[in-house]
Amino acid sequence: MTKEKRLIQHNFRTTEAEDNVIRQKMKTFGIRTRASFYRAMILNGYLLKLDLPEIRELLRLMKNLTNNVNQIAKRLNERGSIYDTEIDEILEKQEELWSVLTKILSRLESPTA
C-alpha cells in the first residue's frame, strides 16, 4: 500500500488564548505536531482520553474473583461440597467489584471528572 502525499494546505488564525488551549490539548494527548492534532480533530471528530485507574483495579478484582470461582468449582467437582467461608469470600469480592464499578460510572457521568 503506497502512502498518499498530502498536498493541500489549510491555514487559519487563532487568538493567543486559543493557541494556549490548542497547545495544552496537544500535550495532554501526546500529539507533537499541530498538523497531526488538527487532522485528528477534524477527521475523527473528537479526541477522548480516559485515565481511569479504577478500570485497572476492576480488572484485578475480576481476575481474583474468577480464580476463586474456578477453585470452588474444582472443589465441588472433586468433593461435592464447598466451605461457607468460600461463598462469603465470593460475596465480598462481588461487593468490591460493585464499589469500583459505581466509582467508574460516577466519574463518567460527572462533567468535571
pLDDT digits (tens, 9 = 90+) for 9-19: 889 899 999 99
How large is the angle between the packed helices 34-44 and 16-29, nearest 10 degrees?
A: 80
pLDDT digits (tens, 9 = 90+) for 64-111: 888 888 888 888 888 888 888 888 888 888 888 888 888 888 877 776
Instruction: Output the pTM of the full model.
Output: 0.45
Spatial contact of 82 and 33, defined as CB atoms under 8 Å apart: no
Domain residue limits, the chain: 1-48, 53-109
49 CB-near residues (< 8 Å, 6+ apart): 28, 29
